[in-house]
Amino acid sequence: MRAFAILASLVPAALAATYSLTDDYVGPNFLTGFTHQAIADPTNGRVNYVNQTTALAQNLTYVSSDTIIMRADDTTVLSASGPGRNSVRIQSVKTYTTHVAVFDIRHMPQGCATWPAAWETGPNWPDSGEVDIVEGVNDESPNASTLHTSPNCTMPSGIVQSGTPVYTNCDATVNGNSGCGVRAPTTNSYGPTFNANGGGWYAMERTNTYIKVWFWPRNSATVPSDVSTSGSASVNTSNWGEPYAYFPNTDCDLASHFAANNIIINLTLCGDWAGAVFNSDGCSGNCVTYVNENPSDFTNAYWNIAAVRVYE
């Protein structure tokens, strides 16, 4: 019986309930449902996060009825001794525990030095947990979805998922805070290939039993109708098929490692990850110098998001 129970925990459980739409972040709703965080970048990037007033005035944030654009400045040559390139980091006003978040993304920031992320975390990091849904650097595909937690949270081997695990220890205090990550199985999940395909949908389901992440490219025949339909009143994740990232509570008490989390969408440049692998990812020179001296190279460093929908 014990062996069967362990084996069953490695398979994505089809026990999901139907979730109802509680927050529909579309267009102007991003300006009221999220705050622009004018904070020092905790990942030490070469960016200067600006407040909402500045972001709107400098066209670093733009909204229409069905779109939010968030970008880095692409006109200013920076002084080496001055602040970083102006950029945007937004955080949801509301926090969430058990929920499903669906991200309808048309374009993500691309280019050398870029480090875009759509993720969730709470106060007192890493004690509140962190779920990285969309994240990568320097145009290196595929996407990686990762958990970062306090100690004593690991993922077992033999998990049934379509993605490829990278690390299994989620503890943020080991392995240089690599967390326990899973790479998506397709290259069009991140960067220029994602953008050339018109983007797609990411979805994350969080319960106390598991956390799952799915990706469907734009125009995919497999995207569920409750995901692709704008403003769907409910979703049923049991119809979504195998996730590419599956994090069960087998060796991690998710309830104690994750608190109520905010949704964050941001773009940093260089920093602890993108800067560290800048040259090995095929980018030339020094990352910070590159960001300072080449503003026009960041013309494509922008998010174009149709919606973020939260179901509870």
Looking at residue 10, what is its pLDDT? Answer: 66
- Can you give the length of the chain in residues? 312
The 3-state DSSP class for residue 218 equals coil
Residue 11 vs residue 186, higher pLDDT? 186
Mean pLDDT (whole number) for 195-212: 98
Tens digit of each residue's pLDDT (9 = 90 or more) over 252-307: 999 999 999 999 999 999 999 999 999 999 999 999 999 999 999 999 999 999 99
Active centre residues (catalytic):
130, 135
Tens digit of each residue's pLDDT (9 = 90 or more) over 40-98: 999 999 999 999 999 999 999 999 999 999 999 999 999 999 999 999 999 999 999 99
Strand partners, 68: 63, 305
Do residues 195 and 107 touch, judged by C-beta distance below 8 A?
yes
Confidence check: pLDDT of 8 > 50: no
Q: Can you give the residue ranges of every domain in the chain?
A: 2-311
Looking at residue 116, what is its pLDDT? Answer: 98
Looking at residue 150, what is its pLDDT? Answer: 98
Looking at residue 17, what is its pLDDT? Answer: 83
Strands (E), the chain: 18-25, 34-36, 47-49, 61-64, 67-71, 85-87, 89-92, 99-107, 114-121, 130-135, 144-148, 164-165, 180-183, 200-206, 210-217, 234-236, 245-248, 262-269, 302-311
> For the structural domain made of 2-311, what CATH number should be given?
2.60.120.200
Looking at residue 16, what is its pLDDT? Answer: 61
Convert 177-195 into a string of H (helix), E (strand) and C (coil).
Answer: HCCEEEECCCHHHCHHHHH
C-alpha to C-alpha distance for 308 and 94, rounded to whole angstroms: 13
Phi/psi of residue 123, each to 5°? -70, 165
Looking at residue 174, what is its pLDDT? Answer: 95
